[in-house]
Structure 1
Amino acid sequence: MCAFQDMLDERFHQLVLNALHLSEIEAGFWIEAEEQELSEEGVVIGHVVNFRADTPPAILKRASGRNEGYMVNLGIIDCVEDYQ
């Protein structure tokens, strides 16, 4: 993978953590899956994070975005904006 892609991946990961208001350790423990939300046309329309079913409410309340049970939709995360 190229250095720029590595930088974008790291930036994206940090933006997800910031949006969730979680540390790296908390995210590693409580998050089950992260995935892009795509439209029918394949366009990215959001980013979804699924938490473990035993995640404490206090952890879930920290997350910015639309919460639905143990799923948080963060919307679109633009990791390129700062590098233009």
Structure 2
Amino acid sequence: RGRSPHTVAAYRRDLTAFLATLAGRGVETPDAVTPELVADHVAGLRGGSEPQAASSVARALSSIRGFTRFLVEEGLA
């Protein structure tokens, strides 16, 4: 989609962190992801030991939305 390599790397980091959060909660399938899990992940980004900037949190949410949209379009969720 014409994204810079830095943007792609940032999206990859965002999704890796989100998937790690899900794995830590025992979530193994896309159907098991709930809005509450996403909200908990975002809360962790905002208030963890190293709080993320608002722009980083917004980018993480954008990454998660894009990934979720991809899963739905591919019939995986």
Q: Above 0.5 in TM-score?
A: no
Q: More relative contact order in 1 or in 2 (CA 8 Å, sep 6+)?
A: 2
TM-score, L = length of structure 2: 0.40
Give TM-score, length-normalised by structure 1. Answer: 0.37
Please state which structure has a larger fraction of its residues in helix. 2
Structure (1/2) with the larger strand percentage: 1
Structure 1 or 2, whichever has the larger Rg, is 1
